[in-house]
Amino acid sequence: MFASAQTFFHDDFDNNLNNWKTGEDPGVVNRTIENNSFRIASLKSGSYPYTVIPVDIDLSRNFEISIAMNYQSADNQAAGLLFGYLDGKNFQSFVTSKNGYFRYGVKEKGDWSDVKTWTKTNAVDTDDPLYNKLSVIRQGSDFIFRVNDEIVYQTGAIDFFGNGIGFVVNNVQTAGFDFIKVRYLSENEDYLPKKSLVVRDEFNDNSNNWAINNSHPAIFKMEDGKYHLEMMIADQSYQSSQSLTIDYSRDFEIKARMIKKGGSKEDDYGLIFGMNGIENLYFFQLNGEKKYAIGKVQDGSYSYAVNWEESKKVHFLSGSRCYNELCLMKKGSRLYYNVNGEELYNQAFPELFGSDFGFFLKGKQTILVDYLEVNYLD
């Protein structure tokens, strides 16, 4: 235990002083507090009953929200933590299933998106009597997700919509929760690999001088903490780029979370790098069909290292938006192409044409860039 860590909210359900919602909604859900456990029995197929209470967290500090699940009746259904809750249309959730999977997702303005799709992990306890501790750690600009104190996923943090935290249960099953706790991290707690930040842009303003355009056929603007790239004509492409000063002899990572919002599933988007004008560049692209492409343009001619292959690691467009975190990582003499924390491809680090870096989109669609971050890894 870290001596200076500060737990400021803790409920182990020996009473209901925090006024959790209890009782039965016939045919839908029954919520009870019994034997030091909060139980949610979901009674309706396709539903996801949840219960939250407001807990004010100083979001400028590093913190951890943790719960323990001591019972789950169904093997392949989700249950877990709801956080950053504003209302039924705006929240985040981190859930596990009894058969050994976890998922992290966001519902924003009524649209659900997986940030990390269902992923198998040995960290989940699958044997009865069940006990799974789930925690979300905010450290700096990152979220770290842990199951039973083992890190299962890390990504850039998504802003909270509101201050509600609690529990969610999907489909017909009963889940029991042993406790919920929120604490601030101590100064010496560090859950992240050692990195040296070069630049991070959260697009709250345009201090880094990205391209802005307010007329047909492309709208590029800063809005709501995101870089909006909107293309209004099919079968045309646009890019926004600028010089990136980085020591390419060192190990580094360049990562950006990009949100495809609407448009055709076939329309592609992604990162361009090592540029010297639009006719000489490297690209790392995705589309809404779980496909990716990797290659280069040299003197205006395309060549592919990977020519639109499908991968379950790429999130696809199932509704009106989907999240994908793209990462270029140099380690030693290799360049790794990662999506959502997992490797898609690697190659010998190429000779770059130039130092420009940026974003690309093709077709009638909108891409939101949530953040861009560059770190040295050595």
The predicted-structure confidence for 292-346, as pLDDT tens digits, reads as follows: 999 999 999 999 999 999 998 998 876 668 899 999 999 999 999 999 999 999 9
Phi and psi for 156 in degrees, rounded to 5? -65, 140
Residue 107 backbone class (left: φ over 0; alpha: ψ -120 to 50; beta: rest): beta
> pLDDT value at position 211?
94
Distance (Å, whole) CA 84 – CA 102: 18
Rounded to the nearest integer, the mean pLDDT of the chain is 93
Which residues does residue 99 pair with via DSSP β-bridges, in sequence order?
none
pTM (2 d.p.): 0.85
> pLDDT value at position 3?
39
All CATH 2.60.120.560 domain ranges of the chain, comma separated, are: 6-184, 196-376
pLDDT at 259 over 80: yes
Instruction: Kindly report the CATH number that applies to the domain delimited by 196-376.
Output: 2.60.120.560
User: Strand, coil or helix: what is 211?
Assistant: coil
What the block records as the tokens of 250 is 């060192």
pLDDT at 4 over 70: no
What the block records as the tokens of 184 is 């601030």
Compute the Cα dihedral for 205, 209, 215, 220 and give only its sign. negative
What count of other Cβ atoms lies within 10 Å of the Cβ of residue 287? 24
Residue 178 backbone class (left: φ over 0; alpha: ψ -120 to 50; beta: rest): alpha
> pLDDT value at position 69?
95
Distance (Å, whole) CA 106 – CA 158: 9
Q: Which CATH class is domain 6-184?
A: mainly beta
The share of the chain scoring above pLDDT 70, in percent, equals 98
